[in-house]
């Protein structure tokens, strides 16, 4: 049995998706070092290199590299080893302090996630202040303050910098690690992980890390609900006490302050911070696969595939190849003029965007090329990816395009210099990664020196189409066959665990789709008891962006429904279906249901739709066996006469429905919406789920049932159309 108000909740989640800014999950571990982070290309929608209307009969004559006038960062080192870099900028009366710890990559093991949790806990309470007191003091001076596992950041008006630095020192030196705050962080983290289970980008990130590095590597291990549940205060304290030492710290101070003032403040608040030995770590070397391997994560509800072509590379931070490699990768997949974008988007129309990255790292670098494409062109898109990877290895790049790319990188670098914090970052990078003193002052000169032969050399060294993982997150039944041309297809779950899929053919001797539905109806209480339900009223509550919502649903046999979502006396949304026609009211604006929605309402307004699938012309297909959480579930594709398809997951053990999912096309784009059902309880001999976890894209919320009433004599007047 489905939660009766899902359609209205979908509308609210869509509204939330359209109005809420979200952040995407970071590729690989948070601990990964990238010295070039301030030098990455601009957004692909602006500032792209173009070839323009040039005289193509003669190669362009490159001009001299612009002379870089880098600002100066004055530096000093405290007695405890803390290195401080000061960049004066008196244009505005503001100062920013950024403390960064030079941490090795750390493998977290069975309680993965404890390091980032420890970083969050720093600002959740100290031995002298509670979290609320910290927040109040920061707000009072109009400052910002944030903490992470690798440091502390704060900014304020110049007149408040003394107080701000005192607060920063307090959270850095005196964290109290309150248990109640740990519990909150764990709950928030688990909530985010649950939402990511249905996000193809998050799934791809998980599996990509496992393929490239393995789960026993700090860049490949996964944070899961299980590992987070095991995090305790002792682990967080141990991380802090081991690694938060000034002798591996860099403090960048940027703004309306001079070196003498900075020294006095740092000495006052961080001078007593005691240095100590910090462990260093070594890990087994990871390499690209010996031959191309195809990895497939099956998402039956997907209408498009997320493609990643990826592998680890030996490219250390500060290596001379980094700059030449950046030019090469920008040509391949770094912008709108890149090979990948022009091929997959402009020539073939497979995707809105395709790109690639070549990342250096102190431990191990990586290459990744990616795009989201329609199911029916998945294999064709992979062919074109491979064509472009081979092209840049085998064909000399056009001299004119090379020069335009170098000009683009030059402009991107110049724009980065507009921020004073860039100068501080440069100074820290030179010290942290043992770069040449002139690394940044000669940056553009070295970019302009990159030649056509350099590009090919970098491509042949780092672009490996025959030694790559082809990772696809998509609908296996539609894409698996086409992917076999690239090699044997290995299936992986969302956590990167390989498995052999159980198909409908494998289950044919075990169970048929009709038996799955019968088992479900029996688990609810039996078909006879379910048919005796003539009407049902259900009240649920949920919270969206801090707003408490009440959802009321009333249904009457055979197919009438009334549903509202409200906060107090304010009604946000209502939908009424009287059995033949219906309306939807959103914030007072009424709109009749179109023919397609009416067709769907004829099915979905049933109290128990599964009782009437046959007479309603709904086609059911048993597609295989998958896990929902720890439970194996039969997956049933549900095709309505309207053309709408969805998937229901029925527990192999209990028969109960554990999950439903479908892909919706909306003005905001395609969304995969899923609902997980938990906490089944009995009402008058029939089981109902009392909790629903609803995920759509990056949005997630939980709805809980307050009350369910059966057979109360609901009249037809309830379903009149206004």
Q: pLDDT tens across 593-606, in order?
A: 999 999 999 999 99
Distance, CA of 66 to CA of 646 (rounded, Å): 58
At residue 662, the pLDDT reads 85
Distance, CA of 126 to CA of 670 (rounded, Å): 44
Mean pLDDT lowest for which of 15-24, 180-189, 468-477, 624-633? 15-24
What b/e readout covers 273-312, taking b as 16+ CB neighbours within 10 angstroms?
Answer: beeeeeeeeebeebebbeebbbbbbbbbbbbbbbbbbbbb
Distance, CA of 550 to CA of 136 (rounded, Å): 32
- Look at residue 450 and tell me whether its pLDDT is greater than 90: yes
How many residues are there in the chain? 722
Distance, CA of 337 to CA of 454 (rounded, Å): 19
Contacts with 164 (C-beta within 8 Å, 6 or more apart), sequence order: 95, 97, 138, 141, 143, 145, 154, 155, 156
What b/e readout covers 431-470, taking b as 16+ CB neighbours within 10 angstroms?
Answer: ebbeeeeebbeebbebbbebeeebbbebbebbbbbeebbb
Distant-in-sequence contacts of 267-272, Cβ < 8 A, 24+ apart: 267/78, 268/165, 269/165, 269/166, 269/168, 269/169, 270/78, 270/80, 270/82, 270/169, 270/172, 270/173, 270/246, 271/78, 271/79, 271/80, 272/173
Q: How many CB atoms lie within 10 A of CB 226?
A: 14
Distant-in-sequence contacts of 344-348, Cβ < 8 A, 24+ apart: 344/371, 344/373, 344/381, 344/384, 344/385, 348/377, 348/380, 348/381, 348/384
**Order of all β-strands in the sheet with 365-374:** 354-359, 365-374, 304-313, 469-474, 293-298, 489-492, 498-499
At residue 153, the pLDDT reads 95
User: Would you say 320 and 313 are in contact if contact means Cβ atoms under 8 Å apart?
Assistant: no
Distance, CA of 294 to CA of 485 (rounded, Å): 10
Residue position matching structure tokens 């998937």: 647
Residue 433 corresponds to which tokens in the numbers above?
């990664």
Q: Which of 222, 291, 294 is nearest to 498 (CA)?
A: 294
Domains of the chain: 6-18+504-719 (2.50.20.10), 67-498 (3.30.830.10)
Q: pLDDT tens across 323-373, in order?
A: 999 999 999 999 889 999 999 999 999 999 999 999 999 999 999 999 999
Q: Which of 279, 233, 273 is nearest to 99 (CA)?
A: 273
At residue 27, the pLDDT reads 44
Percent of all residues in the chain with a pLDDT value above 90, rounded to a whole number: 73
Residue 420 corresponds to which tokens in the numbers above?
């004073």
Where residue 51 falls among pLDDT bands split at 50, 70, 90? very low
Distance, CA of 50 to CA of 60 (rounded, Å): 14
330 φ, ψ to 5°?
-65, -40
At residue 30, the pLDDT reads 36
pTM: 0.80
Where residue 196 falls among pLDDT bands split at 50, 70, 90? confident
At residue 73, the pLDDT reads 87
At residue 421, the pLDDT reads 81
At residue 191, the pLDDT reads 86
End-to-end CA distance of the chain: 29
Residue 166 corresponds to which tokens in the numbers above?
């005192």
Q: What is the mean pLDDT of residues 189-206?
A: 90
Classify residue 569 as left (phi > 0), alpha (psi -120 to 50) or beta. Answer: alpha
Distance, CA of 660 to CA of 658 (rounded, Å): 7
Distance, CA of 355 to CA of 335 (rounded, Å): 7
Distance, CA of 498 to CA of 653 (rounded, Å): 23
User: Would you say 219 and 155 are in contact if contact means Cβ atoms under 8 Å apart?
Assistant: no
At residue 67, the pLDDT reads 56
625 φ, ψ to 5°?
-130, 130
At residue 420, the pLDDT reads 76
- Look at residue 544 and tell me whether its pLDDT is greater than 90: no
């Amino acid at each position: 049995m489905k939660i009766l108000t899902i359609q209205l909740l979908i509308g609210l989640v869509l509204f939330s998706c359209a109005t809420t800014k979200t952040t995407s999950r970071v590729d690989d571990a948070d601990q990964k070092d990238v010295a070039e982070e301030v030098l990455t290309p601009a957004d692909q929608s602006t500032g792209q290199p173009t070839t323009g209307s040039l005289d193509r009969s003669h190669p362009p004559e490159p001009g001299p590299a612009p002379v870089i006038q880098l600002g100066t960062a004055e530096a000093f080192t405290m007695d405890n080893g803390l290195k401080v870099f000061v960049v004066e900028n008196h244009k505005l009366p503001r100062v920013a302090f950024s403390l960064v710890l030079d941490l090795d990559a750390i493998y977290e093991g069975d309680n993965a996630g404890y390091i980032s949790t420890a970083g969050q806990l720093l600002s959740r309470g100290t031995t002298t202040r509670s979290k609320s007191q910290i927040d109040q003091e920061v707000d009072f001076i109009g400052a910002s303050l944030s903490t992470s596992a690798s440091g502390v950041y704060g900014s304020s008006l110049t007149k408040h910098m003394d107080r701000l630095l005192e607060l920063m020192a307090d959270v850095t030196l005196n964290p109290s690690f309150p248990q109640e705050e740990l519990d909150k962080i764990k709950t928030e983290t688990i909530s985010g992980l649950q939402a990511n289970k249905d996000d193809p980008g998050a799934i791809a990130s998980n599996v990509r890390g496992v393929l490239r590095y393995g789960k026993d590597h700090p860049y490949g291990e996964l944070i899961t609900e299980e590992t987070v549940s095991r995090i305790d205060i002792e682990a967080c304290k141990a991380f802090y006490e081991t690694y938060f030492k000034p002798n591996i710290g860099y403090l960048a101070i940027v703004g309306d302050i001079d070196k003498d003032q900075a020294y006095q403040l740092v000495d006052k608040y961080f001078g007593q911070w005691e240095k100590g030995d910090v462990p260093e770590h070594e890990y087994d070397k990871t390499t690209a696969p010996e031959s191309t391997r195809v990895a497939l994560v099956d998402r039956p509800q997907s209408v498009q595939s997320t493609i990643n072509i990826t592998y680890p590379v030996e490219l250390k931070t500060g290596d001379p190849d980094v700059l030449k490699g950046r030019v090469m990768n920008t040509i391949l997949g770094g912008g709108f003029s890149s090979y990948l974008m022009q091929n997959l988007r402009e020539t073939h129309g497979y995707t809105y965007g395709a790109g690639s990255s070549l990342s250096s790292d102190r431990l191990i670098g990586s290459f990744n090329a990616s795009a989201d494409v329609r199911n029916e062109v998945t294999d064709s898109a992979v062919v074109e990816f491979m064509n472009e990877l081979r092209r840049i290895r085998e064909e000399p790049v056009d001299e004119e395009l090379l020069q335009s790319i170098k000009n683009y990188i030059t402009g991107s670098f110049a724009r980065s210099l507009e921020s004073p914090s860039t100068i501080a970052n440069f100074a820290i990078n030179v010290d942290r990664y043992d770069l040449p003193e002139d690394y940044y002052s000669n940056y553009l000169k070295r970019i302009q020196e990159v030649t056509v032969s350099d590009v090919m050399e970098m491509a042949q060294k780092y672009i490996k189409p025959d030694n790559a993982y082809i990772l696809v997150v998509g609908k296996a039944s539609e894409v698996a066959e086409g992917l076999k041309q690239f090699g044997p297809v290995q299936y992986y779950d969302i956590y990167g665990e390989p498995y052999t899929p159980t198909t409908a053919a494998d289950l044919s001797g075990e169970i048929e789709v009709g038996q799955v539905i019968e088992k479900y109806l029996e688990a609810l209480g039996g078909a006879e008891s379910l048919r005796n339900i003539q009407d049902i009223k259900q009240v649920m509550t949920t919270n969206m962006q801090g707003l408490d919502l009440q959802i009321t649903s009333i249904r009457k046999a055979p197919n009438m429904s009334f549903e509202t979502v409200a906060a107090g006396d304010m009604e946000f949304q209502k939908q009424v279906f009287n059995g033949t026609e219906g309306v939807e009211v959103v914030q007072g604006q009424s709109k009749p249901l179109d023919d397609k929605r009416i067709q769907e309402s004829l099915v979905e307004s049933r109290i128990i739709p599964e009782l009437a699938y046959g007479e309603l012309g709904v086609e059911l297909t048993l597609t295989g066996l998958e896990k929902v959480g720890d439970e194996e579930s039969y997956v049933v594709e549900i095709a309505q006469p309207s053309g709408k398809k969805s998937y229901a997951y029925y527990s192999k053990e209990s028969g109960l429905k554990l999950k439903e999912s479908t892909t919706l096309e909306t003005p905001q784009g395609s969304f995969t919406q899923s609902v997980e059902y938990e906490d089944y309880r009995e009402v008058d001999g029939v089981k109902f789920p009392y909790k629903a976890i609803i995920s759509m894209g990056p949005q997630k919320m939980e709805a809980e049932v307050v009350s369910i009433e059966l057979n109360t004599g609901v009249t037809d007047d309830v379903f009149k159309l206004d």
